[in-house]
Amino acid sequence: MTDEVGVDAVEVGRVFPALIVPGIGNSGDRHWQTLWQRRHPGWRRVQQRDWERPDRTEWVAGLDRALRAFAEPPVLIAHSLGCLTVVHWAGQGTLPVKAAFLVAPPDPSAPSFPPGAHGFHPVPSARLPFPSLVVTSSNDHLGSAGFARRCATVWGSLFFGIGAAGHINADSRLGDWPEGLRLLARVVHLTCRNIGPRPDHG
């Protein structure tokens, strides 16, 4: 997948509303999701009752509540368990979504999967009803690149590997992750033009 447009050309917050969907811990102060929201104060964030012991049913309901507050379909910006929350919601939700940016989906069958998370297995295998991009790292201990690629295939998503970046979180020391913003802009660009998937990378 190649990047044909920069963030300045397609400023996501000016084109579509955006909803941030964090994983466990609600993405702390140094996480790129939090830094992006500071940069785009109009973006919203899903709120969950318990960020440390995720329950699929509860998290899906929280995402659905957040989506109901939008007057027009948002772009979903999800990380880790937030990705699985999005795909589980997509199997039952009826609200429109413009696109989804799915970063570092974890593998519920992996030994490192958080033991406090419940109900996320099995991972849905239905094609998502909106455009999406799965972004992965080659050394993510919570989900292999192979797992992420398989998810992208069954979800009908674009796929992009960024190399060795761990779980693509604050520990990855990405700062505000400019490459991620460019990838997000690419997804929005394709959505604006109503263009189908392009060849993957990684």
Between CA 107 and CA 104 the distance in angstroms is 9
Mean pLDDT, the chain, rounded, equals: 90
Q: What is the structure's pLDDT at 13?
A: 61
Give the pLDDT score at 6: 45
The answer to whether 160 and 138 have CB atoms below 8 angstroms apart is no
Q: Strands, E, within the chain: which ranges?
A: 18-21, 44-45, 75-79, 99-103, 132-136, 158-161
Please state the rounded mean pLDDT for residues 157-163.
97
**pLDDT value for 131:** 94
CATH code linked to domain 12-193: 3.40.50.1820
Query: Tokens 């992009």 sit at which residue?
Result: 160
Higher confidence at residue 10 or residue 80?
80
DSSP 161-182: E-SS-TTSSGGGT-TT-HHHHH
* pLDDT at position 157 over 80: yes
- Residue 172, burial from CB neighbour count under 10 angstroms (0-12, 13-18, 19+): buried
Whether residue 122 has a cis bond before it, omega within 30° of 0: yes
The pairs formed by 143-152 with CB atoms below 8 angstroms and a separation of 24 or more are 143/104, 143/105, 143/106, 143/107, 143/110, 144/107, 144/110, 145/202, 147/105, 147/107, 147/110, 148/104, 148/105, 149/200, 151/87, 151/105, 151/123, 152/200
| pLDDT, tens digit (0-9, with 9 covering 90-100), for 12-45 | 666 679 999 999 999 999 999 999 999 998 999 9
Q: What is the token pair recorded at 30?
A: 């140094």
Residue 116 neighbours by CB distance under 10 Å: 11
State pLDDT tens for residues 77-109: 999 999 999 999 999 999 999 999 999 999 999
pLDDT of residue 12: 62
Q: What is the pLDDT of residue 10?
A: 45
Ranges of each domain in the chain: 12-193
Distance, CA of 34 to CA of 170 (rounded, Å)? 10
> Which pTM value belongs to this model?
0.90
Question: Is 105 in contact with 80 (CB distance < 8 Å)?
Answer: yes
Instruction: Reduce the DSSP state of residue 20 to 3 states and report it.
Output: strand
Closest Cα partner for 125 from 80, 84, 78?
A: 84
